């Protein structure tokens, strides 16, 4: 015979992930004086992805090779700074148990890696002729990159502001 509980069924269910002892350990480990390096470094690939699209649009409009060269640099530096940001984010994801156990953190990682692949492809194809590369594939990849950086950044912000991942619990 089993004893019947008066509690509603939702209160009797146990989430095995949330009951993990490390679930509430979400403070940043990859940090300078408590300031997360990932949050500091993501500004560069985000800004450069939008500069890249802007430079491509200006090249399309003016035909001035200056903008195609600017786009080449924005693509390369956006990709390399994105990789650096990705390393600190990946270290945070793997080392902090409360971040590692949340599905949302893995969703962010997958969207971010897709963005890095788009930025890398966009840079790589420009190395073989930066002017010819802009139309049509360069500008199409830049548009896709701008959409993906919007998703990545918005979702990363959700991790911090909704789930409070990588934040300090205060002293």
Residues that bind ligand HEM (CB under 6 A): 28, 36, 38-39, 42, 45-46, 82, 85-86, 89-90, 92-93, 99, 105, 108-109, 112-113, 115-116, 149, 152-153, 156-157, 159-160, 165-166
Determine the Cα angle at 108 with ends 77 and 123, to 5°.
25
**What's phi and psi for 163, nearest 5 deg?**
-95, -10
Residue 31 forms beta bridges with which residues?
36
Residue that has been written with the tokens 């190395």 in this structure = 127
**What's phi and psi for 143, nearest 5 deg?**
-65, -45
CB of 60 to ligand HEM, least distance (A): 24
CB of 29 to ligand HEM, least distance (A): 8
Closer of 116 and 134 to ligand HEM (Cβ): 116
CB of 18 to ligand HEM, least distance (A): 18
CB of 72 to ligand HEM, least distance (A): 19
Closer of 39 and 68 to ligand HEM (Cβ): 39
Q: Which helix (H) or strand (E) holds 12?
A: helix 9-12
Residue 35 forms beta bridges with which residues?
32
């Amino acid at each position: 015979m089993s004893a019947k509980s008066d509690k509603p069924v939702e209160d009797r269910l146990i989430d095995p992930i949330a009951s993990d002892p490390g679930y509430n350990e979400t403070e940043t480990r990859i940090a300078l004086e408590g300031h997360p390096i990932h949050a500091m470094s993501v500004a560069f690939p985000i800004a450069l992805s939008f500069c890249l699209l802007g430079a491509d649009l200006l090249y399309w409009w003016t035909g001035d090779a200056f903008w195609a060269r600017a786009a080449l640099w924005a693509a390369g530096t956006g990709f390399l700074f994105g990789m650096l940001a990705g390393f600190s984010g990946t270290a945070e994801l793997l080392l902090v148990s409360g971040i590692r156990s949340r599905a949302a953190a893995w969703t962010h990682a997958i969207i971010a890696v897709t963005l890095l692949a788009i930025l890398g492809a966009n840079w790589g194809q420009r190395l073989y002729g930066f002017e010819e590369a802009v139309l049509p594939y360069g500008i199409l990849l830049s548009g896709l990159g701008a959409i993906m950086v919007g998703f990545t950044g918005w979702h990363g912000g959700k991790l911090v502001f909704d789930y409070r991942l990588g934040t300090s619990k205060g002293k």
